[in-house]
Structures are given as structure tokens and as C-alpha cells.
Amino acid sequence: MDTAERVLAYGGGSLDRAGPLRTDPTRLGALLTEATSVLLPIWRDRCLVDGHGPVRLSAERAALVRSAAGETVFLGLDGETAVFAADLSALPERSAVEMAGAVRSVDVRALVGRLEPGDAAVQAYARGLLHWHRQQRFCGTCGAPAVAGGGGHLRTCTDTECGRLLFPRIEPAVIVLVEAPGRSGRCLLARHAGAAEDAYSTLAGFVEIGESLEDAVRREMGEEAGVTVTDVSYQGSQAWPFPAGLMVGFRATATSDEVLVDGEELLEARWFTRAELRDRAASGRPLGRADSIDHRLLTDWLAEG
């Protein structure tokens, strides 16, 4: 996968995150009230949209939203324009929509096909950061309240004896296209618990403490599908802030055709030929989520044969 040229959904945003500005509260305060600055309102992980897409507020409307926001965070600079996000989750949905001058709230994943990639990346970034603030109101060490700082990119425990600095968590997961051994031209797809009867996708799992990404690939394939793999190779990564994921794509080769699903996370797994997958796509059955790296893994594999 040519990761330099082919940007996955929720990645590749052109926003300058302007890290040094996060430690300058005076400058951030001035930027927050500048007429040219932009504020993105979020309500309970959902974008607030009007007839043109996610609303971008400035001037008086932005000031009104900030006054009602649980947190306002600095996202970065779009050229010379400062971009902030505000969390209206404490309000009823209708109140948040009206205050932002929007018409409804929408999950950013439902908008991806209609947004420019950079816009989708910024909306997902805002969603993920504000979600973290709502979940990290207290220190996990001593239980004292934690307050936001660093432009919204850290929280600090208010207990003077603790004072722990809390940073947004990232939860890495591996997602893997497993090929059959030899030259059979087959890949392994699985039906996950809760999925529709004929819904198959690549295999994935979270990385555990004390293991590398490659270790996680080998462990997850063995635990979920009873498959031993070799030739583990990195394919690309994708921001997945739902709420805090990082999806890391791999390919691997199975050492045998034998499959034994765990019956818990996976209900079924089987080998598919390229012809079978092309037939599924032609009949309107999706190859993974259109906005997910597993779709890219599958389409890249199909293009090779």
C-alpha cells in the first residue's frame, strides 16, 4: 500500500496541530476570541450540521456556544485560522442544535463520503478529543477532579500531593488480511458476533501491554481463528477515533488451511477466492466498511490478481 499517496478516511488532515501554542494560554485566549477563528460544535460524539455540512462557527455564535460548552479545545491552525472545538453534550440535543445554528446532529461516519478528507479528519479529531475529556474528569490514581490544560490536550489532577498529568489515550488495534498458504489465491474472512448472517470482514484485535504489533497479529489470529501465521507485513495505519482507536493494517500468510474459530468473537471464518469476493462486490455486498482500512486491504488484494 502506498501510504504516502493513498490517504485513508480520518487521516491526512492538513491542519497544523501547532503544539507550541498549547503551552501559551495567553495566545490561545486571544485566538479564541479572534473574529477569524473557527469553532466546531460537537454534541455527544456527533457533528452538528446544516444544509451544507458540519457547521463552523465564528464571532457571536461561537461566543454563545463557548459559554455553554463543557470543554473547548484547540485543534490547530488551518493556514492562519485557529480552529477550536466545543462540547455541548451537557445540553439536550435540540438545544445544542439550535444554539449552534444547525439543523441536526450526525455521526461523522455517516458523512465521510460527502466530506473532503481533511474535513472528515478534523471532525473525527474533535470528536475523539472531546470524548476523552468527558471520560477523564477524575484522576485515575487518587480520584480527585482533573482540570483541562494545554489547549485541551492534557488534564491535571487537582490533588496537590498527586498532581498527575493525564494525556489522551490511544488504543491500538491490528487488522489483518490473512492469505492461504501456497499460491491458492485465497484470503480468510470472518463473521463476527453480532454481524449479519452473510457479513464477512478481515480479522482484528487490540494490542496488549508488552507485545509488539506483529506479536498482536500472531496472537489474535491464533486466539480468534486458530490460525498460525507467518510473513507478517505492515500495510498502513488509520486514525479511528471511535472513541480512541488506531487501526494498524497487516498482511500475513497462514501456515495451513485449518481454521478453528473461538465461537465468541468470531462465529465463522472461511477462505474466499478473489472471484468469490468480486462476485460479492458485484452483487452489492460490501467488502468491509467503506471508510475502514479493512476495505482498503481487501481492494488492494483483489487488484493483485
Q: Count CA within 13 A, CB hemisphere, residue 154.
A: 12
**Cα distances (Å, whole numbers) of residue 180 to 64, 88, 261, 274, 295:** 58, 49, 16, 12, 19
Mean pLDDT of 196-223: 95
Which pTM does this prediction carry?
Answer: 0.92
Alpha-carbon gap, residue 3 to 80, rounded angstroms: 28
The answer to whether residue 238 scores a pLDDT higher than 90 is yes
Torsion angle of alpha carbons 215, 220, 226, 232, nearest 10°?
A: -50
**Of 275 and 285, which is predicted with more confidence?**
275
Could you tell me the pLDDT band of residue 305, with boundaries at 50, 70 and 90? confident
What local confidence, expressed as pLDDT, does residue 290 receive?
87
pLDDT tens digits for 32-73?
Answer: 999 999 999 999 999 999 999 999 999 999 999 999 999 999
pLDDT tens digits for 97-116?
Answer: 999 999 999 999 999 888 98
The answer to whether residue 96 scores a pLDDT higher than 50 is yes
What local confidence, expressed as pLDDT, does residue 151 receive?
97
Mean pLDDT of 209-215: 98
- Across all residues in the chain, what is the average pLDDT? 94
pLDDT tens digits for 72-81?
Answer: 999 999 999 9
What local confidence, expressed as pLDDT, does residue 143 receive?
98
**Cα distances (Å, whole numbers) of residue 260 to 219, 225, 276:** 14, 5, 21
The answer to whether residue 174 scores a pLDDT higher than 90 is yes
Could you tell me the pLDDT band of residue 6, with boundaries at 50, 70 and 90? low
The answer to whether residue 125 scores a pLDDT higher than 80 is yes
Q: What percentage of the chain has pLDDT greater than the value 70?
A: 98
What local confidence, expressed as pLDDT, does residue 250 receive?
98
Query: Is 150:73 a contact under the CB 8 Å cutoff?
Result: no
Alpha-carbon gap, residue 218 to 108, rounded angstroms: 32
What DSSP element (H or E) covers 150? none
In the numeric block, which cell numbers belong to residue 184?
491458492
